[in-house]
Chain A
Amino acid sequence: MQIKLPFSRRREVTAETWTVCPSCESQIFNRQLERNLRVCPTCGHHFRMGIGQRIELLLDEGSFVEHDAGLESGDPLGFHDQKPYVDRLEAARIKTGLREAAVWGIGTIDGERVAIGLFDFHFMGGSMGSVVGEKLARCFEAALVERIPAIVVSASGGARMQEGTLSLLQLAKTTAPLVRLDAAGIPFISILTDPTTGGVLASFASLGDVILAEPKALIGFAGARVASGTVGEDLPEGFQSAESLLEHGFVDEIVPRAELRATLSRLLRLLPVAAVEDGWQTTAETRGWGPIGVLSGMAERLGTAVSETIGIEVEQPPADESGQAARRPREDES
């Protein structure tokens, strides 16, 4: 095996100058594929995309700053299957130039600052172990502290088996900060790309205020191998596709890659971070339409009026009660 050094990229120009589209079998020159955002020009098949390209696709040029770039996985279990886990990690680092399967940082989309986490499926199947979980948790916590929207672009086979239950618990570690984002009024947009399955889908990825998916992306809870092994029947085609999730109500919209940036930019304007000062009531008033917002806005105004006319004290909410403290967590669905 030829060893490629992480920072000295230049793909070998051998037989790999063109790619066959797995969907329509047309031959695409690689340069053309890259220029077309890794989407087949003939049939629109979305090829998988690396983190670097995804950053260039979604964020303003030069705006991205990676945070916690130095976090590295250890080998908590001393895991050894056919290869030691540490060797698999090293191979993945050399192959992708990444230190781990996910990266997080802060950048701008049409000038709007966002905290963004991104997965690369090519690093051990985009699997989530301690470090990936830590990066996402820090991404959400940064969104909370800076009061900027959070975005995660998922591409993952799920929890990383080589770290055992420590990986499983990353589902809870990445989900817990979302409760705080809810209380603080900070939007979270989840983008599901091919493939998003297992533990990543069964945690933060399914909990976006808005969930977008790329066309035909494989999205599902149980990998086909696990499912057919347990269920013991042939599985219908496409039951784990983005389209199927849209039909059943688990995805808001399927967005072709070329429109993803514009869609995100629009959503960020439509779903702004709640104003800080008086919590959400003021915000609801300025934003206008929610029945509860209107009512509490009225109550506020009436409260003052009443106290003025009748001359009684109306209890005022404590001044320091910002979002962080104790609004009850609400569950999204059901």
Chain B
Amino acid sequence: MSGIVLSAGPPSAEAIESAWRRVQLARHPQRPRTLDLVALIFDDFAELHGDRLFRDDPAIVGGPALLNGRPVMVIGHQKGKDTESNIFRNFGSPYPEGFRKAQRLMLVADKLGMPLVTFLDTAGAFPGPAAEERGQAEAIASSVKLMTGLQVPIVAVIIGEGGSGGALAIGVGDEVLALENATYSVISPEGCAAILWRAPEAAPTAAAAMRMTAADQLELGVIDGIIDEPGEGAHTDPVATATAVKEAIVGALGRITRLETEALLTTRYARLRGIGLVRETEVGSAQLPPEPSLRRRIGRLLRLPGVPRRPRWSEIWPSGEDADNSEEGA
């Protein structure tokens, strides 16, 4: 967690401009998507469909592929290129069945000992009644859990938007990489602005405050490497982008496939356990003082002065009862 720059105040105009430019590049309509990159990176790819439970979710694609002749399992979010394909792909926002399809493919990878390569590119998991009814939260949670224990190497690449839980659901990796103009955030800048600034137009400010660019994420230790984009951004040269992504994936796999399964899992666990800033202060454990002596208890019964009552946890942590919804999480 070194190298973190603490700013004293709100983000500067410069920081806001720079963060927002990258957010827009990450969302660029011509940006190469998962299937574009897959076609350019892998020698062969067979897309598999369906979660075997409800339906096939076109917002997530996946299947076995050959990387330099070696079988790997590929899973990624899939956005569309135009209105029609975006409606078909639900703008790359998966329903629970998308994550369950991903889990099914992860289990195949695990069974056959194939390394897993994932591409993250989503504004977030789809909200709404249908997604809730089918267990959106459970689908994300069990996907994350499955990945933390998967016995094959995992490389995750953020190629566009890394939107919150919907991205993390296929984004737990032994190495997590990001394209230079990709973003990764706990909530969309618009959502953050609506909640913390109470003004959606503060989205660029929120984007800067959340430090969601690839460079920031590298500094925070959330990702392990950045893949440079050609020229003005990935959309200007998809082929060069794919070449760079391929090289990065091959490099990462070279490093992590050397590990034995047990070392792989221990390292993955340690990587996750180490994320975040935690300050240990001296206080270790705490408990209520022991029950007062019999004499004191009698004293208290007789209401003698100076005899303290044993406190209760509810007095130590009174909590408020105001229904304060102002500070939602994401």
Using a CB–CB cutoff of 8 Å, the interface residues on chain A facing chain B are 7, 9, 11, 19, 22, 38, 47-53, 55-56, 62, 64-82, 84, 88, 95-98, 103, 105, 120, 122, 124-131, 133-134, 137, 156-161, 163-173, 175-176, 178-179, 197-207, 220-223, 225-227, 229-231, 233, 235-236, 239-240, 244, 248-250, 325-326, 328-329, 331-334
Complex contacts, A126 vs chain B, CB 8 Å = 329
Evaluate contact between B11 and A164: CB separation under 8 angstroms: no
Query: In the complex, what residue of chain B is closest to A156 when comparing beta carbons?
Result: B329
Complex contacts, B321 vs chain A, CB 8 Å = 19, 38, 47-48, 122
CA gap between A194 and B268 in the complex, in Å: 33
Q: A70-B281, A161-B329, A198-B330 are in contact. List 14 more A-B contacts (CB 8 A).
A: A49-B319, A53-B314, A70-B280, A71-B280, A74-B278, A96-B320, A97-B319, A105-B285, A130-B277, A157-B327, A157-B329, A160-B186, A168-B168, A221-B165
Q: Among B145, B196, B268, B328, which residue has its beta carbon within 8 angstroms of that of A331?
A: B145
Question: B40 at interface (Cβ–Cβ under 8 A)?
Answer: no
Size of the B side of the interface (Cβ < 8 Å), in residues, is 106
Q: Flag B255-281 by CB within 8 Å of A: 1 or 0 each.
A: 000000110000011001101111111
Q: Among A19, A50, A88, A124, which residue has its beta carbon within 8 angstroms of that of B318?
A: A50
Question: B24 at interface (Cβ–Cβ under 8 A)?
Answer: no
Evaluate contact between A158 and B136: CB separation under 8 angstroms: no
CA gap between A134 and B272 in the complex, in Å: 10
Chain B residues 50 to 77 lying within 8 A of chain A, measured CB to CB, are 51, 53
Query: In the complex, what residue of chain A is closest to B188 when comparing beta carbons?
Result: A226
Query: In the complex, what residue of chain A is closest to B313 when comparing beta carbons?
Result: A52
Evaluate contact between A334 and B272: CB separation under 8 angstroms: no
Complex contacts, B326 vs chain A, CB 8 Å = 125
Q: Flag B129-158 by CB within 8 Å of A: 1 or 0 each.
A: 101111111111110111111110000000
Q: A56-B312, A124-B327 are in contact. Are A226 and B191 (CB under 8 A)?
A: yes
Complex contacts, B127 vs chain A, CB 8 Å = 221-222, 226-227, 230-231
CA gap between A62 and B286 in the complex, in Å: 12
Q: A72-B281, A334-B53 are in contact. Are A250 and B135 (CB under 8 A)?
A: yes
Complex contacts, B185 vs chain A, CB 8 Å = 164-165, 168
Evaluate contact between B328 and A169: CB separation under 8 angstroms: no
Q: A157-B329, A163-B276 are in contact. Are A96 and B210 (CB under 8 A)?
A: no
Query: In the complex, what residue of chain A is closest to B126 when comparing beta carbons?
Result: A230
Evaluate contact between B144 and A331: CB separation under 8 angstroms: no
Evaluate contact between B285 and A69: CB separation under 8 angstroms: yes
Evaluate contact between B277 and A166: CB separation under 8 angstroms: yes
Complex contacts, A22 vs chain B, CB 8 Å = 323
A-B contact pairs, 25 of them (CB 8 A): A22-B323, A52-B315, A64-B287, A70-B283, A71-B278, A71-B281, A74-B279, A76-B1, A97-B316, A161-B196, A163-B276, A164-B220, A165-B184, A165-B217, A176-B268, A199-B186, A221-B132, A226-B191, A226-B330, A235-B128, A236-B129, A248-B134, A329-B146, A329-B148, A333-B138
Q: Among A127, A130, A326, A334, which residue has its beta carbon within 8 angstroms of that of B262?
A: A326
Q: Among A64, A82, A96, A244, which residue has its beta carbon within 8 angstroms of that of B196?
A: A82
Evaluate contact between A55 and B327: CB separation under 8 angstroms: no
CA gap between A73 and B278 in the complex, in Å: 6
